[in-house]
Amino acid sequence: MTQVKAKRRPPSPRTTVFLITLAVTSLIWVLRGTSILAFVPGGVLLLLIGFTIFTGVVCVLQ
């Protein structure tokens, strides 16, 4: 009995952009919460969160 292995496709560029923005936003949020990046304004964090949500929606709708 032979098994057929499915070939994995690399993620699309939109998925890659979403994952990178999610990782950067999460990292900045955690570092800001621990006061390592306390100098980062809250508006920048809100923009990153908004951009992450936007790229997530675009990724899903592709």
pLDDT in tens, 6-48: 788 888 889 999 999 999 999 999 999 999 989 989 999 999 9
pTM: 0.80
Residue 28: inside a domain: yes
Domain extent, residue 52, equals: 13-61
Taking each continuous run of H as one helix and of E as one strand, the counts in the chain are: 2, 0
Cβ atoms 24, 48 nearer than 8 A: yes
Residue 2: inside a domain: no
Residue 3: inside a domain: no
Q: How many domains does the chain have?
A: 1
Q: What's the pLDDT at 3?
A: 76
* Top-confidence residue, 48 or 62: 48
Q: What's the pLDDT at 49?
A: 96
